[in-house]
């Protein structure tokens, strides 16, 4: 709710006329452009700009960039007898009245959202919670009502108003999608797994959607990226979350993930580049491709840069599933001509920052079937990958091969606890190597019905993880050493 320090804190939004807004965008000199490229981006910035510890000045210039020059803020207040009042403010007036933010500290986080769009106008119902300290006691919750406008090139906040949660005014359950699930600390605050696979972040990462990659973390562990199909084989997007002020943000579509199919992100060991696969056209005016190609974005001072097509190593067939070693050597799977099967694992060493020559890993790893989704150890000592079939060597599911002077060892399946029924794929290790992530379509056993369900409960159940579409699991990775010792 952004803060108006009387009873609690206020959300912020502003109001815009129908005229084309140029005044502030022409006078602003800082790089805030990435804040307004999408709904996720502008709502994230909306909360970030008002949050901070005691004594830290707020970046009101950034706030002005988010809001239309004629934006209007509506500040509400409901006293104990239940009487309500409201008053209108300009954004500058709001800033002048918000000295309490700096004097006491204030942190506001989104805990749920509903979006309604029509043409260029968007209405956001954004549930929030706030605290004085970043790890402090929750001071209150409420819902921000935010109006957005898209002028063809960017989003603008037109206005916002909020109302606080009270005993007689509770937040509806559908707005608490993330409440109680977004936590502080490493790995989204999840308890570390042991020797058996466990669902990772159910309700946030593992959901009723079709998770179609394992999560990849930035080297410092404060960013996480993964991809999902929002419908089975429907729209595929890369999602991300960020840890700020000790708390993880709600999932958002990554700013570089467009309306084309994007998937399987991988962050380079130094964190400077993110690779992904996409069906987007190479040229902006072309239609979507029928096969996946490899792309990357480089990290800049203001976020990720523009996507770059890896023309030198892409083929006319599917090129997917990048993994990168410490020295920059790139591994991926491809269905290109000249392979040993329907999809093989390839590698390419960097040559002055470019990838020009591609090598097939050979018949020890590859077969007449499908090998895909590799994960290469940072030192290239072993490789994990999926076999989608039973072959003379290896098993269906996730396999491991070790690198030797004379080549790769024969693949070995990771065992029944990993390669259970269904598809088990997309192996990925955490940056510290402590945990193995993978995606499994195994269905969770659920309690039998004891009474006739209603329609709403059936929909709710189908949107939970464990429905057989694919969920993210993680496990302590120390068992991998057993395969190395056995080899």
pLDDT number for residue 76: 84
* b (16+ CB within 10 A) / e for 108-133: bbbbbbeeeeeeeebebbbbbbbbbe
pLDDT digits (tens, 9 = 90+) for 112-124: 888 899 999 999 9
- Among the residue ranges 46-55, 312-321, 440-449, the one predicted with the least confidence is 440-449
Does 106 have pLDDT greater than 50? yes
pLDDT digits (tens, 9 = 90+) for 344-353: 999 999 998 8
Average pLDDT over residues 387-409: 82
Does 402 have pLDDT greater than 90? yes
Most confident of 5-19, 56-70, 221-235: 56-70
Does 28 have pLDDT greater than 60? no
Identify the residue with better confidence: 174 or 191.
191
Identify the residue with better confidence: 164 or 172.
164
How many angstroms from the chain centroid is the CA of residue 417? 27
Q: Place 413 in a pLDDT band, splitting at 50, 70 and 90.
A: very high
Average pLDDT over residues 404-414: 92
User: Above pLDDT 70, what percent of the chain?
Assistant: 86
How many angstroms from the chain centroid is the CA of residue 58? 26
pLDDT number for residue 81: 58
- Among the residue ranges 28-42, 221-235, 262-276, 323-337, the one predicted with the least confidence is 28-42
Q: Which residues lie across from 435 on neighbouring strands?
A: 476
Q: Strand 382-387 relative to strand 407-408: parallel, antiparallel, unpaired?
A: unpaired
pLDDT digits (tens, 9 = 90+) for 125-152: 999 999 998 878 889 999 999 999 999 9
Does 16 have pLDDT greater than 50? no
Q: Place 178 in a pLDDT band, splitting at 50, 70 and 90.
A: low
Where do the structural domains in the chain lie, given as residue ranges?
Answer: 23-175, 186-486
Cα(45)–Cα(77) distance, rounded to whole angstroms? 24
pLDDT number for residue 34: 87
pLDDT number for residue 4: 42
Cα(287)–Cα(301) distance, rounded to whole angstroms? 31
Does 198 have pLDDT greater than 50? yes
Does 190 have pLDDT greater than 80? yes
- What average pLDDT does the chain have? 86
Does 441 have pLDDT greater than 50? yes
Cα(385)–Cα(397) distance, rounded to whole angstroms? 8
pLDDT number for residue 203: 84
Q: Place 111 in a pLDDT band, splitting at 50, 70 and 90.
A: confident
Q: ∠329-332-334 over CA atoms, to 5°?
A: 140
Q: Which residues lie across from 110 on neighbouring strands?
A: 128
Q: Alpha-carbon dihedral of residues 210, 213, 218, 223, nearest 10 degrees?
A: 0
Question: Domain 186-486: what homologous superfamily?
Answer: TolB, C-terminal domain (2.120.10.30)
Task: Count CA within 13 A, CB hemisphere, residue 188.
Answer: 27
pLDDT number for residue 246: 72
pLDDT number for residue 453: 73
- Among the residue ranges 133-137, 157-161, 369-373, the one predicted with the least confidence is 133-137
pLDDT digits (tens, 9 = 90+) for 265-282: 999 999 999 999 999 999
pLDDT number for residue 5: 41
* CATH top-level class of 23-175: alpha beta
pLDDT number for residue 80: 57
Average pLDDT over residues 234-252: 84
Does 301 have pLDDT greater than 70? yes
């Amino acid at each position: 709710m952004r803060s108006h320090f009387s009873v609690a804190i206020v959300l912020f939004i502003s109001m815009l006329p129908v005229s084309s807004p140029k005044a502030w965008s022409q006078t602003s000199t800082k790089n805030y452009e990435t804040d307004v490229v999408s709904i996720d981006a502008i709502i994230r910035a909306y909360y970030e700009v008002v949050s901070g510890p005691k004594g830290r000045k707020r970046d009101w210039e950034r706030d002005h960039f988010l809001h239309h020059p004629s934006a209007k803020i509506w500040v509400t207040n409901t006293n104990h007898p239940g009487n309500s009042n409201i008053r209108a403010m300009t954004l500058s007036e709001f800033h002048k009245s918000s000295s309490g933010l700096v004097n006491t500290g204030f942190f506001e986080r989104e805990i749920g959202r509903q979006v309604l769009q029509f043409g260029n106008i968007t209405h956001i119902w954004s549930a929030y919670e706030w605290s004085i300290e970043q790890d402090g006691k929750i001071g209150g919750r409420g819902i921000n009502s935010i109006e957005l406008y898209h002028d063809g090139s960017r989003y603008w906040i037109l206005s916002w108003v909020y109302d606080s949660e009270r005993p007689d005014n509770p937040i509806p359950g559908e707005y608490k999608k993330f409440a109680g699930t977004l936590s502080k600390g490493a790995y989204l605050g999840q308890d570390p797994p042991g020797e058996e696979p466990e669902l990772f972040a159910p309700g946030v990462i593992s959901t009723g959607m079709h998770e179609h990659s394992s999560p990849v973390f930035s080297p410092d562990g404060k960013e996480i990226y993964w991809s999902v199909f929002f419908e089975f084989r429907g729209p595929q997007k890369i999602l991300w979350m960020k840890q700020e002020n000790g708390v993880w943000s709600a999932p958002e579509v990554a700013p570089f993930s467009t309306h084309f199919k994007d998937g399987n992100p991988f962050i380079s060991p130094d964190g400077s580049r993110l690779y992904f696969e996409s069906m987007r056209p190479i040229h902006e005016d072309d239609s979507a491709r029928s096969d996946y190609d490899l792309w990357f974005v480089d990290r800049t001072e203001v976020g990720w840069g523009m996507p770059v097509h890896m023309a030198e190593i892409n083929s006319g067939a599917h090129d997917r599933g990048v993994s990168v070693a410490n020295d920059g050597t790139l591994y991926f799977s491809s269905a290109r001509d000249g392979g040993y099967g329907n999809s093989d694992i390839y590698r390419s060493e960097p040559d002055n920052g470019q990838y020009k020559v591609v090598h097939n890993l050979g018949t020890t790893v590859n077969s007449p079937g499908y090998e895909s989704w590799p994960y290469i150890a940072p030192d290239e000592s072993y490789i994990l990958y999926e076999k989608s079939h039973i072959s003379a060597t290896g098993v269906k599911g996730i396999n491991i091969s070790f690198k030797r002077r004379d080549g790769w060892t024969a693949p070995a399946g990771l065992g029944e606890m990993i390669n259970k029924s269904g598809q088990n794929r997309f192996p990925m290790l955490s940056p510290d190597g402590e945990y193995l992530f993978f995606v499994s379509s195994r269905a969770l056993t659920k309690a039998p019905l004891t009474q006739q369900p209603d329609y709403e409960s059936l929909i709710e159940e189908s949107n939970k993880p464990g429905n057989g579409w694919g969920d993210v699991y993680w496990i302590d990775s120390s068992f991998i050493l057993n395969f190395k010792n056995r080899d």
